[in-house]
Homo-oligomer: A and B are copies of this chain.
Amino acid sequence: MMNKSGTRGRRRGRPETRAQVLEVARRRFLADGYQAVTLRSIAAEAGVDVALISYFFGSKKGLFGAALALSANPAEIFLQALPGDPASLPERILRALVGAWEDPAGGGQLRVMLAGALSDPDLARLLREVLEREMIDRIAEYLGGADARLRAGAFATQLAGVIFARYLLALEPVATMTVDELIRYLAPGLRAALHGPRLNRLPAGEVRR
């Protein structure tokens, strides 16, 4: 980096500029989010003209996609928390979830990925497919039984609620609860989802499928 000496044209040797831009972009996007980061600031930090980024990646969205494609580590966390006693699965998963999101190293990745995915339909579809395949299906497989997928869905819905309320929205009091408080107040609901609805609680006219 630190070229930008005003000299036009191609640089000497084989250029690694593209990779440098990508690395700067990835760090900045994960640190400050998509909107807040400007192409010009990335270009300046990478010692490069702004136009070069458009030349390489076509657009700001293209750069964002390329930067995220580098290290996309989706919900692998859940798989590691899955094996073990089903009774303590809510606690294990909640701890894994909080640990992943509050890890200083990779925590911001998830937030930025989600925020970006919600604004772009294509990214949203991609994320949805990953979550269904890697999370819901695995949980359903772990649970077993007739309505395993529905129970897994209810389970995942509550986890999504934690992510949404605590990390995306920072809603109080969820945002500042300790992990133990989270477990104490949310684990019962998660357990209820795992067990599924009781048969004698069916609403009138409903048939168990």
A residues whose Cβ falls under 8 Å from a Cβ of B: 33-35, 91, 115, 118-121, 124, 127-128, 131-132, 136, 149-151, 153-154, 156-166, 168-174, 177, 180-181, 183-193, 195-198, 201-203, 206
Contacts and interface: CB of A to CB of B under 8 A. Distances in A.
B35 A120 contact: yes
Contacts of A195: 188
A150 B177 contact: yes
**Which 5 pairs across A and B sit closest by C-beta, in order of nearness?**
A161-B161, A189-B189, A188-B192, A164-B164, A154-B185
B115 A169 contact: no
Contact of A171 (B128, B171, B181, B187): B128
Nearest to A118: B115
A157 B186 CA distance: 9
State the copy count for this chain. 2
A172 B115 contact: no
Contact of A174 (B153, B166, B177, B196): B153
17 contacts: A35-B120, A115-B118, A118-B168, A124-B170, A128-B170, A128-B172, A132-B172, A136-B171, A150-B185, A153-B185, A154-B189, A157-B158, A160-B160, A160-B161, A180-B203, A184-B202, A189-B193
Contacts of A191: 192
A202 to B, nearest CB: 7
Given A185-B193, A189-B189, A164 B160 contact: yes
B171 A132 contact: yes
A34 to B, nearest CB: 8
B190 A35 contact: no
A165 B158 CA distance: 9
Task: Choose among A124, A164, A174 the residue with the greatest number of B CB atoms under 10 Å from its CB.
Answer: A164
